[in-house]
Structure 1
């Protein structure tokens, strides 16, 4: 009898719903498809300098309560309409959370917040929420972490982030090369941008890799490359990188690699020194650069929710405060409205100055 050499640390495997079946149960509507398609095109125009507005990715660090996310979406949808002439506002709808060690991995992985890991339900909740948001006319942004997940929700996503921990991953660069929306690659957790620049360049090339198809079958995937990758500056353990000198250097490095030299600034994480209250300060400094005529800033990212701050995931879920993050701390609605107004004003001032010089 041969010794057992496989699945030594696997205790269970459960069937995963095929992507085609979930998409059949929750089909994309005409309204949602129009929202996604048109927003992707506008983001492309912003990235490549054909649209003078700013892209703003704003929303909860992660979604753990669908009802609260829907309420937040209503607020952001109104803000999007109010600032449409200056800002392309896209709701941050994050379902997957990378972890340095352990912790809650997001709504898709553990939708009941109890360690039951009902991933099929998580995928259904995620797609249902994205349909709701996009049918409001509000586009959605997310971070794609597991390379299987795009088959289930990517058709409802207008912008995607590849996080600081995964920007160096060949798997995620390959995945990005086949995605249909613009992709923001964050700089590494140490603050260096070389890895992210390499990632943008790699994702723009064709690739062949292992994946799954819409029926859930293992497949060989062939891609064309994604021409709409860009750099997201999120600071790092050695400090911030949203100041003019850092942005100028990043733009220069991108141009030297033959890539679009416009960057997004993440107002949280290393740029806020992990103090959520400083996001408004970072956004104000970025707005000042826009007013001063900087052509290198294409947008910002904000972590925002109904209630400021964050809370720990309690064993008794009834003790959780409604509308407050269980991951990174967020600014509240009032502060979000103020920040959006500051950013819109900067674009308005810049547009007015350009008109006077024509």
Structure 2
């Protein structure tokens, strides 16, 4: 099967059936290559001396480091700009266009971009396309928009743990309004037959309207609820934190609220998954989380056989190795 080669990764909506089938086969092959000591060193030649720029306007642990390790595993050279919004010319007032246009001029092969503004990765890709340079933009998170590479590793985790992606009930909980990982995952999983969703969140953090409209057009079933007990019906539970950094909350109010929580040890368990909650789930269900975790899944759940979030995180290196190879045109399967 010949798959149309892509230059950028911007949205999970762009992952066609042909792309997904080929990508899945590539991940399975890459997993074998990494697991074979006699072949592992050969991976260093896949992207030998290719220059990769990680330009992150926002903080990151897993995405940035897993991309760096993936690049090093393939022999690439990595240049990282962490908190670029503070420690770059952006602080002096430089426009986004000028920053991206300048980076393109240095002719890296990849720019892996995280930005606080929705649509920024797509804008960067347009700047690249207008320049005519062979530079791939990878969206590593654009504000409340999407996180498509996270969706790919989440999708691979589900496939690996469940043996399928079709005919699943997926409960997605937490901050669904601002959570870009949930947006990309829903866009991706909605492409599969028999997948339905349960969106579990308070009304003010429920799934955004445009994504629900998208599901309506596609004929995908979903339910909105604030009842955490609905996780009992799910095959996959995907839980997320409240993204305080996306909210325009009064700083004094936030400080007082957090102080009260600390003094009186108050915990709102309506959206916290406990060990008891995990035990109430289907025997073969799995629990996932894109991390960071800030209390919405208790550590007691880590011992539950359904917990898969650390394996999910580990899958990031493997999947991002395949992403880089695919965009560069490396043939993983001989």
When normalised by structure 2's length, the TM-score is 0.31
Give the structure with the larger helix fraction.
Answer: 2
When normalised by structure 1's length, the TM-score is 0.29
